[in-house]
Amino acid sequence: MSNWIFLKALLRDKIEINKFAKEIKLQPFKVKQIFFEIFKNQNIDIDQMTTISKDLREELKSSFEAISIKLENVVEDWQTTKFAFKTHDWRIIESVIIYHRQKAQHIKENKPKLNRITLCISSQVWCPMGCSFCVTGKLWFTRNLTRDEIISQILFANNYIKNKFWKKEDGILFWVRNVVFMWMGEPLANYDNVKIAVDMMLAQDRLSLGRRHITISTVWIVKWIQRMIDDGMTVKLAISLHAPNQKLREEIIPVAKWTELNDLMKVIEKYIKATDNRIFYEYIMIKDLTDKPELAMELSRLLKGQLAHVNLIPYNENPAMKHFHESSIENIKKFKEILEREGITVTVRDSMWREAKWACGQLGWEKVNSGNEEDE
């Protein structure tokens, strides 16, 4: 039996899982044991699955792998760990762990205490949206990720975190608390696989995450936001807005030509009513383009009276995109003050990882800069 077939079987719904287990003569309680080891004990190495009998472990070794991606490279610092994975068809995808730490409360403590962990995951191989300020969008879009490739990123991260940090003071393993679809790809352009992956994240016998601990970041796709409402997928929603009017939005986000901003705001209003969730708006701060005071006023009028929070993202400059420049600290501060004066809550996003060229909008700069964007 193919390793991938067994894996995909375990990522189906319970009816299909039980049917598949019956076909291969695997008792239901053994399936539960495998689930427990992978999703709760955070093990992806069969030899580490000690709650499973030795005979079953030996049987699994010849027919099963816990994840469908292979680690290609890892780069880490105190704040983050970035993984590059290779898929079965030799494509490269990436994920990044963000470590949130509390400040030390006592002078005697050497360093801040690890509080929670966020994982930013990919949903596609590169991205088809083509946003003018984003290096990733300049690369050759290849395909959607499968549901198991999406979940595999979390399973690998949980296992990595377990080996790195072990347990908290209360004896519970450290694990990914927040999952954000905000790395490579447009999640709603891969709706079906993302929806199944989210269901597995929420399931109590799988990753058991809360709805408010999963965020989907999207550029524009109105019909799929409506589908989220219809399907009851009430996770957090982050809108990559980046401009408060249709003309400027089309200039920096070409696919915005297919959807009127008014239609986007209407479906977002419906989403808020259906979920009572605050919407997060991502807004890129590009010098002399998106950082003008009049745009701050226009943005405040657009979001007035809505459950909204704006994240101002300083543009991350990189060698592959020389025609855009980061807004000045003064302009960002002024933009923020205007929004706050008009009653909009705002955060200025930290510009982490820009030196390594893997901050927001920089992913894949090496390929674009070298002219090898199609070599995948």
CB 215 within 8 A of CB 182: yes
- Give Dmax over CA atoms of the chain in angstroms: 69
Tokens of 9: 């079987």
Task: Give the number of residues written for the chain.
Answer: 376
Q: What angle do CA 292, 293, 298 make, to 5 degrees?
A: 100
Q: Which of 120, 127, 134, 360 is catalytic?
A: 360
List C-alpha distances in Å: 163 to 37, 154, 281, 332.
14, 14, 35, 40
Amino acid in the structure at residue 220? W
Cα gap 61→57, rounded to integer Å: 6
Q: Residue 148: phi, psi to the nearest 5?
A: -70, -30
Closest C-alpha among 242, 236, 193, 192 to residue 216: 236
Tokens of 297: 């006023």
Residue 59 is a catalytic residue? no
List C-alpha distances in Å: 189 to 143, 200, 245, 251.
10, 19, 23, 21
Cα gap 331→133, rounded to integer Å: 19
Sign of the torsion angle spanned by Cα atoms 116, 13, 271, 312: positive
Q: Which helix (H) or strand (E) holds 341?
A: helix 329-341
Cα gap 92→90, rounded to integer Å: 7
Q: Which of 37, 94, 282, 317 is catalytic?
A: 94
DSSP code of 123?
Answer: S
Per-residue burial over 291-312, b if 16 or more Cβ lie within 10 Å, else e, is beeebbbebbebbeeebbebbb
Tokens of 324: 């855009």
List, in sequence order, every residue forming a beta bridge with 283; answer none if it has no partner: 312
Cα gap 219→231, rounded to integer Å: 20
Residue 360 is a catalytic residue? yes
Q: Which residues are catalytically annotated?
A: 94, 360
